[in-house]
Amino acid sequence: MSDVARTNGSGRVALERALSLTVLLTAGLLMAVTRVRVLLILVLALLGIGAAVAVTLHPLLATCLLTFLAYGNVSSAYAPGLYSAALALAMVAALLRPLLVSDSTISGTRVDLALLVYVLTLLLSVLFSPTPEASGPVLVIMAKSLVLYFVVVSLVRDTRSAVFVSYSLLAGAGLGAFLGLWAFSQGNVLVQLGVAFRAAGLAGNANELAIVMVTAMPISAYMIAATRRRLLRIILAAVTLALIAANFATLARTGLIAMVVVFIAIAVRERRRTWVKASVAAFIGLLPLLIPAGFWLRLAGSGFLTGDYSSYLRSGAMRAGVTMFSENPITGVGLGAYLEKSTQYGDILWPLVAHNMYLHVVVESGLVGLAGMLFLIAATFGLMRRAEKMAPEGSPIFYLARAYQMSYLAFLICGLLTSIQLNQSFWFMPAASVFLLQAARKEGAERPAAS
């Protein structure tokens, strides 16, 4: 191939990428900030078709954008339609691309079966619910989450894609961390607890920011070991410290407990590695600088479940949940009905969620729903573990498989103190387990061929 042909080919690829990004962002922003009119419908339809075709040529771009928006809380803060528009376009790309490249979009793993079973158990609870209309908002969120799962599983199939998606996740989480820390340092945040300010991130929810921080932190830490580029390692180390500091700045006890447990788990599992020893030493040395004074004040002035007003509300919501479960143990009170019924069963003044993911699911969907969720969790961990065993030790997929296991562990620990069954991580982690296994299989198949 001549130099001219190479130049023309690279120029065409660059032009396609620029066109893909421009059309996708333009369509999403128009949907997010304008009202739909007759003429605008036609314009958006044409832009949508063009964007879908462009994204089909570069599906990884759409997946990375979705991951960034999901973990950066950008969509919930400024442009709710942007995430939905990108999700719809990526869905079209995921459906069209197999037709163009003759590639199957079905992963065929136990996670697919577990996810189907869990969704069916939730739908079953809707049938037995005395207030089925309460499930409407939950079903919309679930539909978006299932589309995200399908897109990620369909479009992320090799090591390169898995690494880029993981970097996009860290970019979104890092954005939330740095903005949260900046707002915390200015004393100008959206959430205030007594006289102590809490970093809340773009979404305006301190606990949600803490969950993003503790789930992204293991991924960032393990990717330091996975990359050989010194500059990239320095950037990842800075992001990791920012995630830890922002987690403390939220003053969320959920984030503290999950971070400590996961940090201990990483230190035990990787105790023979030098980078872990150095990280532990750095963490201990910087710990006094990372913890804000307001965090100690909150811990000193409250018991774990009954000491302060927040804990009092949590315990009241949990007691209401236990009462609801005792009356409807098999199929539950109905999907989305916890909020509506919490004041009827507890001594709380306004509707509250359970502040416990497992209790929330078993109350709304009964033991059947809880069994479906536990099956999904076990299947997800199982696939991540298989990916780790199949990947060559020291390879990027090997480290990513371990990273996502620790990230999922952090998320599940957070679920003990928050109702996060609809959080993006709950649905993204099963998808991550699938693309990690697919990448590990592909890498294992290519290595013997190369040798």
Domain assignments of the chain as residue spans, ordered by start: 1-103, 106-450
Q: Is there a contact between 121 and 368 (Cβ–Cβ < 8 Å)?
A: yes
* Residue 210: partners with Cβ closer than 8 Å, 6 or more residues away: 247, 250, 252, 254, 255, 414
**Residues pairing with 193 in the sheet:** 196
**Residues pairing with 197 in the sheet:** 192
By C-alpha distance, which of 297, 303, 317, 336 is closest to 421?
336
pLDDT value for 304: 45
Terminal Cα-to-Cα distance of the chain (whole angstroms): 27
pLDDT value for 451: 47
Residue 284: exposure state from Cβ atoms within 10 A (0-12, 13-18, ≥19): exposed
Residue 197: what are its φ and ψ, rounded to 5°? -85, 150
User: How many other CB atoms are there within 10 angstroms of residue 47's CB atom?
Assistant: 19
**Tell me, what DSSP letter sits at residue 346?**
S
pLDDT value for 77: 41
What is the Cα–Cα distance from 64 to 230, expressed in whole angstroms?
23
Can you count the helices (H) and strands (E) in the chain? 18, 2
Q: Is there a contact between 392 and 153 (Cβ–Cβ < 8 Å)?
A: no
H helices of 73-155, where? 74-77, 80-101, 110-127, 136-155
Q: How far apart, in Å, are the Cα atoms of 140 and each of 134, 143, 144, 146, 281? A: 11, 5, 6, 10, 45
What is the Cα–Cα distance from 406 to 428, expressed in whole angstroms?
14
Q: Which residues of the chain, if any, have pLDDT below 50?
A: 1-8, 33-36, 74-79, 102-105, 188-196, 303-306, 449-451
pLDDT value for 1: 47
Q: SS3 of 236, please? A: helix
pLDDT value for 316: 74
By C-alpha distance, which of 62, 36, 64, 40 is closest to 51?
62
pLDDT value for 374: 95
What is the Cα–Cα distance from 99 to 443, expressed in whole angstroms?
24
pLDDT value for 399: 93
Q: Do you know the residue count of the chain? A: 451
